[in-house]
Amino acid sequence: MAIPDDFKNFVEDLFAGFGAVTIRSMFGGGGVFHEGVMIAIIAGAKLYLKADETSCPDFAAEGKGPFRYEARGKAATMSYWEVPERLYDDPDDFALWARKAHEIALKGKKNR
């Protein structure tokens, strides 16, 4: 299922305060990339930011959880957590969360 153009445009606009992003179609959803690293995913009409042990508590405090899917009959969880709705209306705060996601993605890339 392709991501609707209006949702892609919304996501690109949302990241504007952080920096330019590109969205690539992946596995029925999309990957959101900044400077060559994936910092977010789109699944359905939801946006998830890259997270780790330092940022997961922030998402949990907002009542959000990680992206989950099923593969080969088994449940799996990825290190991307759903963006709190309030951030859609607060571009400055969203930019802070996006910056943290980018730092986490860069750290993960260096550890490979």
What DSSP line would sit under 24-64, residue for residue? EEETTEEEEEETTEEEEEEETTEEEEE--TTTHHHHHHTT-
pLDDT at 20: 95
Residues constituting the chain: 112
**CA atoms within 13 A of residue 34's CA, in its CB half-sphere:** 24
pLDDT at 12: 94
Q: Give me the residues paired with residue 31 across strands.
A: 24, 41
Residues of the chain falling short of pLDDT 50: none
Q: Please give the structure tokens belonging to residue 80.
A: 């991307």
pLDDT at 1: 60
Span 62-94, pLDDT tens digits: 999 999 988 888 998 999 999 999 999 999 999
pLDDT at 112: 56
Domains observed in the chain? 5-110 (3.30.1460.30)
